[in-house]
Amino acid sequence: MIPFNKPYLHGRELVYIAEAVASGKISGDGIFSKRSHQYFENRYGIKKALLTTSCTDALEMAALLLNIEAGDEVILPSYTFVSTANAFVLRGARLLFADSCATDPNIDPEQIERLVTPRTKAIVVVHYAGVACDMDRILEIANRNGIAVIEDAAQAIDSFYKGRPLGAIGALGAFSFHETKNIISGEGGLLTVNEEQYLKRAEIIREKGTNRSAFFRGEVNKYGWVDIGSSFLPSEIVAAYLYAQLEQLDAIQARRLAIHERYTNNAKALAERGCFELPRIPSWATNNAHMFYIVCRSVDERTRLVQYLKERNIMSVFHYLSLHSSAFYADKHDGRALPNSDRYTECLLRLPLYYELSDQQVDRVSAGLEEFFGVRG
């Protein structure tokens, strides 16, 4: 069986977890949390990095930092995970879903432009598969209208837009370290704070609305409840696992990129025949090899391909269901058709990609595609 994903243990994760336990502090913001924060701040030039229990929590912190409330509007892609939307629904915001681009699943800037109103409080972009959205165009729209940009960079660690790290471009960013991501801690996330105005309050919100962090740094002589917030800190056990992975980021990325390149080379002939579309990497973006996907010609063909591969012990999966047509939000959506989002919902298929996937296994998956489309293409 070739699974879709396999969590990776590089070697020092268990050593660091043992160190965290031996230190006598396994609650949040211990030595491995601090090392992880410094890693992101030093490597990517982020003003402040704060570990969270999930990317979902990082997005919810972003909504709190922007004071999103009832009556505010938030523009975001429909083709994304529900956490992107939930963070703002919880604050009472009205969601305006933008379509994806015709050439890739990222949000279409021209759609954003049409959706801006005086009530627009935030634009949330999702760097799908770790490939950058058109940030210059999006920031131009946002800056012209005084709107904050949040980067949902859940899949985008170590990926760049015109040389700038994703997650460090918008006012705020959010990463995921779920076991399906390039760098993992089982569950876990990170909030990136890129504008001075949010730095102090981000710490307070993360610490249940208290100025506890400032107290431990000796900046105040006592701490108390000063704002709204919640408990967003992960334990040191989670941080220890994560930091061991961060130390091996370059090696992990090199292997994932090699797998992605092998898939691409193997699939080029089928794509040129029109059997499916391959991922497009715009000139402004880098590829961090978060996933390898194809876009099939129809939902029926994708369904048959999933079954065909499964019968050969190869697990492949589709991805998001368009949020604008979800059971929860369909009757709240304004009725606009989002054809590109719907096409990716029906036709996009993700193939196995994880560190320990061998070249022989990549070739076996590729052979499954060739056999399927050789018969049916």
Mean pLDDT of successive 10-residue segments in the chain (377 residues)?
Answer: 95 95 94 98 98 98 98 98 97 98 98 98 98 98 98 98 98 98 97 97 93 71 84 97 98 98 97 97 98 98 98 97 96 96 98 98 98 76
Same domain, 279 and 353: yes
Final residue before a domain boundary, out of 220, 247, 274: 247
Answer whether 0.75 is exceeded by the pTM.
Answer: yes
Structural domain total, the chain: 2
In the prediction, which pLDDT does 314 show?
A: 98
In the prediction, which pLDDT does 301 show?
A: 98
The CA angle 256-261-266, to the nearest 5 degrees, is 130
* Longest Cα–Cα distance in the chain: 74
For residue 201, being part of any structural domain is answered with: yes
Backbone angles phi, psi at 103, to 5 degrees: -95, -15
CATH number at residue 121: 3.40.640.10
Task: For residues 221 and 229, give the distance between their C-alpha atoms in angstroms, rounded to a whole number.
Answer: 21
3-state secondary structure of 271: helix
In the prediction, which pLDDT does 215 show?
A: 63
Same domain, 240 and 257: no
Final residue before a domain boundary, out of 183, 213, 247: 247
For residue 317, being part of any structural domain is answered with: yes
Long-range pairs for 300-303: beta carbons < 8 A, 24 or more residues apart: 301/347, 301/376, 302/346, 302/347, 302/348, 302/349
Where does residue 52 fall: left (phi above 0), alpha (psi -120 to 50 degrees), or beta otherwise?
A: beta
CATH number at residue 346: 3.90.1150.10
For residue 143, being part of any structural domain is answered with: yes
Same domain, 273 and 226: no
Same domain, 140 and 68: yes
Q: Which two tokens stand for residue 53?
A: 């229990």
Structural domain boundaries, residue 351: 249-376
In the prediction, which pLDDT does 220 show?
A: 72
Task: For residues 234 and 61, give the distance between their C-alpha atoms in angstroms, rounded to a whole number.
Answer: 14
Does residue 54 contact residue 187 with C-beta atoms inside 8 Å? yes
Q: How many helices (H) and strands (E) does the chain have?
A: 13, 11
CA distances for 116 relative to 73, 146, 151, 178, 316, angstroms: 9, 11, 17, 32, 37
In the prediction, which pLDDT does 375 show?
A: 57
Same domain, 239 and 298: no
Strands 148-152 vs 120-126: parallel, antiparallel or unpaired? parallel
Helical H segments across the chain, by residue range: 13-22, 31-44, 55-65, 82-89, 109-115, 135-145, 199-206, 212-216, 236-247, 249-272, 299-311, 339-347, 359-376
Backbone angles phi, psi at 321, to 5 degrees: -100, 125
Same domain, 226 and 265: no
Same domain, 356 and 370: yes
For residue 22, being part of any structural domain is answered with: yes
For residue 238, being part of any structural domain is answered with: yes
In the prediction, which pLDDT does 212 show?
A: 76
